[in-house]
Structure 1
Amino acid sequence: MAMYESEHTRFMREWLAQHPQEVGEQKKGRALWWDKPQDLAETERLAQARVPVKPYYYDTNH
């Protein structure tokens, strides 16, 4: 049984095969927007400083 592949996926696969330099551009773009270095100490500090939110924000009786 063949798996479905959309026209867009097929187009991108073929286009990237014809333009291999774009794979490097893709990786640079991903690194710019998504792959950020993580600072575990800063993440822990932010988690400890978090203030709990009330179940119902506008309830003044709690």
Structure 2
Amino acid sequence: MSIFQRDSYTSEVTQFIESLKANKPTLEKEQRDGRALLWDKQVNTEIQQDNAAGRVAQKPYPYQTNA
């Protein structure tokens, strides 16, 4: 046995996640489907370029009055 080897320890959170995955094997696929539904979108580059072209630069100090 190596002096650097630790006892096998798994936290309560890790045990909970492993038991959750064991009880519901489709969990990871459902998570990926949910992410695809909300986050993984096709980006329209033309609209992005139009938005970038129409952007107006902000003044360094927006609360300063023009006196």
Q: Which of the residues 40, 44, 56 maps onto 2:45?
A: 40
Give the TM-score, by structure 1 length.
0.69
How many residue pairs end up in the alignment? 59
Unaligned runs of 5+ in 2: none
Q: Can you give the 5+ residue segments of structure 1 that lack an aligned partner in the other structure?
A: none
Higher helix share: 1
Offset from partner CA, 1:3-60 (integer Å, 9 cap, x none): xx7643x132442244221112101111122111111111111111111111111112
Task: Report the aligned-residue RMSD.
Answer: 2.5
TM-score by length of 2: 0.65
Q: Which structure is richer in relative contact order (CA contacts within 8 A, separation 6 or more)? A: 1
Counterparts of 1:42 and 1:23, CA distance in 2: 33
4+ long deviations beyond 6 Å: none
Structure with higher Rg: it is 2
Identity %: 39
> Does 1:20 find its partner at 2:45?
no
